Amino acid sequence: MPLPPLAFIHDLRFGDLPAGVVRMARRCLLDLVGVAASGRSTALSRIAHGFAVRNLGAGEGGGSRLLFDGRRASAAGAAFAGASTIDSFDAHDGHALTKGHAGVAILPALLAVADAERQDGLPGGEILTGLVIGYELAIRAGIALHRSVADYHTSGAWNGVACAAVGARLLGLDGEATRHALGIAEYHGPRSQMMRCIDHPTMVKDGSGWGALAGVSAAYLARDGFTGAPAITLEADDQADLWADLGSRWRIGEQYFKPYPVCRWAQPAVEAAAALVAEHGLGPDDIKAVEVESFAEAVRLGCAPPATTEAAQYALGFPLAAFLARGTLGAAEIADDGLGDPAILAMLERIALREDPACSAAFPAQRLARVTIALKNGARHGSALTPARGDPDAPLSDGEVLAKYEALAGGLARARRLRIAAAVQELGDANSPAGLMDLLAEPLG
């Protein structure tokens, strides 16, 4: 039966989780690890890790190991660096109604607090349970925030609440301290405006590094007696319906998984174009012009040639041009190799974007696009309205998720990649997560 949020945070056990929820938690965990491995190659991650070590140091207790690094920072610093790293490579899972991402902050926060508190005896099932708790709270908090305020805020504005929750659980806070931790995290979470980053793509990204920092800091502050309740997204009367099914409706199952490392809003157009290319056997030299019709937010991503990987990830025209020019859209296409490719830039000049009011009306529950390709021989081919691949009603298979992890974690030695994947699948109450945590803390290679 439904549980109040505080009871859900502290009383839920691994054995309470339905098998499908456990399976989804493992999928999310493996996907996030792969994204983090690719993210470590970005300048954003390098800067965030260095900042955490220098300015958010380990302190008296020894702190936490940084993801794929091995150096130490405070738990809050490690959470910040880890979430920033995952956020730096836009391939992580998300939820349509939040218009954002939960796991990007929750997993680094969970690992950081567990490592800082030297919880080697923690059962592996506790990692998965904490991850599920985080997703269930973050998704509901995100929906609550978006329906109660006018601005479209970044994920860090609400996923920090979930980081405070998993921190409070691992620290063993009582109900009152936990309530204050949630309030502190919500109050200090970054109410950053997402469309500012869409219009001016930089390393600020989706705010999740700061959400993780705020959430983990909130848990430790509450442990020391700092007060901050209430968290309005959890406690306001007009949000009660969102929390009434906590523990009975598992919103983690509503996650989507990205096949491409770019903004989700761009991916319907890529899928529509991919269908046309496959159906008609089109090559880049056949294409004269491309028209994309999609929702307003996707069109706002634009067609400008990107100068940085951040601009490439928060674009619509460039990822589509990369796919049409190369037949693929992966890490190479959004890095320096792709940014300067004359073939991609020439294709980009042939793409035009237009808002479709019907697509705008369907957003955010649905993200849709229609693509029309005009050929040099005079023919025109148009797609149907197409969603992004990997949504809950058309999910990536387990094999596709594993293949994506293998591709993104290619910077790791093959034996280590296999050991990580096996450790994720074996997580449960019968074993310890210490081996997995060690594998995730070692530097790349």
37-88 confidence digits (pLDDT tens): 999 999 999 999 999 999 999 988 899 999 999 999 999 999 999 999 999 9
Out of 79-83, 147-151, 179-183, 374-378, which region has the weakest mean confidence (pLDDT)?
Answer: 147-151
Name residues whose C-beta falls within 8 Å of residue 392's C-beta, 6 or more positions apart in sequence.
Answer: 253, 254, 255, 256
Supply the pTM of this predicted model. Answer: 0.96
- Average pLDDT (423-434) is 94
What is the pairing mode between strands 368-375 and 287-294?
antiparallel
Given pLDDT bands bounded at 50, 70 and 90, which one contains residue 445?
confident
| Beta carbons of 124 and 432 less than 8 angstroms apart | yes
Tens digit of each residue's pLDDT (9 = 90 or more) over 137-157: 999 999 999 999 989 999 999
- Residue 1 predicted with pLDDT over 60: no
My answer on whether omega of the bond before 306 falls inside 30° of 0, hence cis, is: no
| Beta carbons of 5 and 137 less than 8 angstroms apart | yes
Domains of the chain, start order: 5-259+398-441 (1.10.4100.10), 264-387 (3.30.1330.120)
Tens digit of each residue's pLDDT (9 = 90 or more) over 314-341: 999 999 999 999 999 999 999 999 999 9
3-state secondary structure of 376: coil
